[in-house]
Structures are given as C-alpha cells and as structure tokens.
Structure 1
Amino acid sequence: MLGAAGVAACGLALAGCGEGGAEAKPSLKGKVLAKTADVPVGGGTLVEDLKIVVTQPTQGVYKAFSSLCTHKGCVVSTPENNVITCACHGSEFAADSGRATKGPATGGLASYQVKVEGDGIVIA
C-alpha cells in the first residue's frame, strides 16, 4: 500500500507524461513561440501558457525547452547569462542544451526543435 508521499509522487510522474511526451510535441508544430527580438543573446523568454522556455545562447541560435524543472516540476526563471535557473530549489540548466549543471535536478530539460520563420521562432 502506498503512503501519501508515494501517491503524490505517482501523481506527479503521471501528470508530467502528457506535457513533455512525444504526443504533445506534434500538436505544437508551427506554433510561434516568440519573436526573435524578444529573446536576448545569452538570455531567453518564458512562454508561460505552453510551459516552454526559449533561449538564444549565441547570436542567431535559438533553443527551446520545457520550462518545468526535472526535480520537482517548478517553473524555471527567465534565463540569464546562458543559465536557466529553477527558483524553487536552485537547480541550473545550460541554455544551449537544457542539460542539468547544478542540482538537485539531475535530468535535463526536455527539448523542442525550433526554427526561425520571418521574425518568429516556431516549433519545427
């Protein structure tokens, strides 16, 4: 029999499956996430309604990741100095790869393929 913590953990695991899984990505194809002018080099922007963070680690290179920290599912902060930080527990992720660089998170952020169309950054 699962205790309350076990039930909560199972609920969190199941809740995350639909959001970052393969099923969610195709429905976003072609969706404009942000304008290129709104994503600074070395920084980024949060797309709150889609739970995505868009970064520009180097001039003209755009990346997109889930904005949900892999530790406890908190929403990460707007990236600065090529670092995506979780405000809840201090985990840090690389803005160019989504890789966890500082714990407590050990897994990287789920990534999305993006491309630039006109002045927009869209899901490829």
Structure 2
Amino acid sequence: MTEMETTRRAVMTGAGGAGLAVVLAACGGGATPADGGASAAPPAGDAAPSGDAAAGAAGGLAATADIPVGGGKVFKAEKVVVTQPAEGEFKAFDAICTHKQCPVGSVSDGSIICPCHNSRFSITDGSVQSGPAEQALAEKPIKVEAGTIALA
C-alpha cells in the first residue's frame, strides 16, 4: 500500500466514523418505545419567542402583562419558564425536565408540562405534580421592575 492509499483510507474511515457519531447522537437524546415515551421534540405551540421582540422591554424576558395569571410562558433560548401563579406573583424555573432533560413545552391548567413523557410541574414552586419525573424544576432568580421580567 502506498502512503496516498493509507491516507485516503484514514480519511474515509474518519468521515464514516463522524457520520456514525452524528447518527448516534441524534438517536441518543429521545425516548424509546422501551420506556413508553414519545418523541423528544416538544410541540411548537406554547413556547414564546426569545429576545427583545418577546420582552416588551429592552433587556427583559417579557412584560408582566404577557404572562397569564394561573399560567406562564416557556422561553426556549434562555431555558427558563416564567409563571404567574397568582395576580402579581411571578416565578421562574429551569425549563429542562428533571426526568430525561427534555425541554418543557407548555404551561396549562396550573402545570408546566414536559411533552416527552408528560411530567407535570407546579407553576407555584416547580414541584412534581405527576411523573415520571421525581425531582422538582429548579427555581431561577428573576427581578420584576417597571412591568418587565428579567433574569436576576
């Protein structure tokens, strides 16, 4: 074998290995039929856009008026979910489910919902309302000033 053939083989083997790694990585994060799960991709419907367009004020996540009482919004880019359990009371939690690290997808009926395996968390304190998750969502510090909610 010549040096050129060896180099070509090494390049092809490396490229094939990288392709296999991409395929394996794409398959690794989601749920499998063995654990009774569905696709790891959350629904697009309830997540709010991130950045200044969603904030309603420069530098914040959202305007207080954008967070419904008894509900909340998921901010995917910031990996945070902001809730308003009672009028004027705002909370923020890590938006990554503690079960299989899927991003939570929506807030409905007093619950933060993970679409991967339907774990539900309280909008008041992030505690688990129903599993398979067993650990609460971590609370994130926020500041609410002049009608704007921002990460602290």
Q: Does 2:145 match 1:120?
A: no
Higher relative contact order (CA 8 A, sep 6+): 1
Residue of structure 2 aligned with 1:64, choices 82, 89, 92? 92
- Which one has the bigger strand percentage? 1
Q: How many aligned positions are there? A: 97
Unaligned runs of 5+ in 2: 1-27, 30-58
Cα RMSD, aligned residues only: 1.8
Q: Distance in 2 between matches of 1:50 and 1:76?
A: 12
Q: Distance in 1 between matches of 2:82 and 2:100?
A: 20
Residue-by-residue CA offset, 1:78-106 (whole Å, 9 max, x unaligned): 21121011111010100000011111000
Pairwise CA distance, 1:73: 0.8
2:3 aligned residue? none
Give yes or no for contact 1:43–1:78 (8 Å, CA) kept in 2.
no
Superposition TM-score, scaled by structure 2 size: 0.60
Residue of structure 1 aligned with 2:131, choices 103, 118, 122? 103
1:83 aligned residue? 111
Q: 1:57 aligns to what SS in structure 2? A: strand
Q: Distance in 2 between matches of 1:89 and 1:81?
A: 17
Residue-by-residue CA offset, 1:4-33 (whole Å, 9 max, x unaligned): xxxx79xxxxxxxxxxxxxxxxxxxxx622
Superposition TM-score, scaled by structure 1 size: 0.72
Pairwise CA distance, 1:121: 0.7
Percent identity, please.
45
Q: 1:62 aligns to what SS in structure 2? A: strand
Unaligned runs of 5+ in 1: 1-7, 10-30
